[in-house]
Amino acid sequence: MTRMTDALGNSSDDTSEQLLELRAVMSVLDSAGVAFAVLADNSSVLHTNPAFARTCGRPAPELQDQPLTRWVIEEDADTLSAIAGEVADGATSGQPAHSTDARFVGADGKVRPVRLHLDLVAGGDRGLLVCIAQDRSEDRRRARSDRSAKVARAVAEATDEETGLPNRRGLEEALASASRRSRNNRAPHALIRCELTLAEQQADTPGDGGGAAGTGVPSTTVLHSCIDRVRQRLRPADTIARPDEVALAIVAEDLHDEQDAVGVAYRLLSTVVEPVPD
């Protein structure tokens, strides 16, 4: 606490009581492991504790007597400097401590997102500032994890478990996307539904690889064989989906006219005109 004591000792007598109180508060914060620093009105670091140095990613002696903005990426430095100046000028007097986000570049080259809370702690025209740092790395990681989980849930809700194709919900999303592209590109799109039915002897013959007798629901083997055949005739811009158990749906995009849609339908028909062996 020597450097801080010297800095405080050089202050005016009319703020001595506040400074003594500040020293006591800082001692408590230091003991609690709260990351804090005392700054001059130009953002130079007069004192920093180990927790603050760790949050910034640099040794405490390296931070000492240097502007805090020196260790912040350029995009955030001007904002931090302006806010610190406003607080030092008393522009936020009577208001809650001013907070801002800044990204510090540590000695290891890694960028650390930090939220800084600044407040004026000494009287006079331009006083000292206390700066408390809150490491937001964990918040960022949690936010990324939450976003990833949300995306994964959305994908699962729109995907048929058995085939990995878009389900009815996924088909609706694909159609909505195709409609937007059609408006932008002025190229029509088409929805083609393909019913999958079993031959009578297959439906009536129970077996491990066959569909449920009398239901007309194809087995997994037949279903995947049909999907593979259909995929061979589709273009990269087309989407295949499984909206229900006995149907496939194709969203054909970038068509010129209705005849193009008919052509896609004929190509699909030609792929499954021959029975699919079970």
What contacts 245, CB < 8 A, 6 or more positions away? Answer: 217
What contacts 24, CB < 8 A, 6 or more positions away? Answer: none
Structure confidence at residue 97 (pLDDT): 61
3-class SS of residue 257:
coil
Does the global pTM surpass 0.75? no
Q: Are 62 and 48 in contact (CB under 8 A)?
A: no
207, burial (CB in 10 Å: exposed 0-12, middle 13-18, buried 19+): exposed
Amino acid type, 238: D
Q: Is the dihedral of CA 179, 181, 187, 193 positive or negative?
A: negative
Q: What are 131's strand-pairing partners?
A: 37, 118
pLDDT in 10s for each residue of the chain, 278 residues: 434 444 444 444 443 455 566 777 778 887 888 999 888 878 888 888 899 999 999 999 999 989 999 999 998 998 898 888 888 877 655 555 688 899 999 999 999 999 999 988 755 445 788 899 988 887 777 777 888 888 889 889 999 988 899 999 999 999 999 999 888 888 889 998 888 776 554 444 444 444 444 456 677 888 888 888 888 888 888 899 999 888 889 999 888 888 888 888 888 887 767 766 66
